[in-house]
Amino acid sequence: MKKSDGARGFTLIELMVTVAIIGIIGAIAYPAYTQHILKTHRRTATGCLMAMAQELERYYTAKMTYVGASLPNPACRSDLSARYDFSFASDPSASAYTLKATAKGGQVKDTGCTTLSLTQTGERSPANCWQ
């Protein structure tokens, strides 16, 4: 019989410590990752609202009124259709409009920023969600 010179492999305690460390790192990293994803989709929605506002300004330049303007449909609207509903807050008047994006699906977890709005004057609300 041959004697073993040293132990080979890992002990159960070493494996358990490794699993515990991975679990702790995962518990810290996953919430930060999900918040990052929500913020990224919110940033995309604010950019989409701005693209829609640009189209409305082109309409106003041609017609000198916002009355009769339909909701612009840039490509970003279809990209975000699972996360946001885009609409006018009310029908556009001759000199004013308010665009809004309302969170839906998983995006409703973005607390405090579930409804984003942009007016013809560039007023953004809630202001902290546009940063």
Domains and CATH numbers, the chain: 12-130 (3.30.700)
Higher-confidence residue of 6 and 42: namely 42
Q: Once rounded to an integer, what is the mean pLDDT over residues 91-120?
A: 95
Residue 4 in this model has a pLDDT that exceeds 70? no
End-to-end CA distance of the chain: 72
Average pLDDT over residues 56-75: 95
The DSSP-derived string for 39-63 is HHHHHHHHHHHHHHHHHHHHHHHHH
DSSP assignments along 7-43, one per residue: --S--HHHHHHHHHHHHHHHHHHHHHHHHHHHHHHHH
Residue 9's pLDDT band, with cuts at 50, 70 and 90, is confident
CB 50 within 8 A of CB 118: yes
**How confident is the model at residue 67, as a pLDDT?**
96
Side chain identity, residue 33: Y
Q: What percent of the chain has pLDDT over 90?
A: 85
- Average pLDDT over the chain, rounded to whole? 92
pLDDT classification of 2: cutoffs 50, 70, 90 = low
Is the model's pLDDT at 1 over the cut of 90?
no
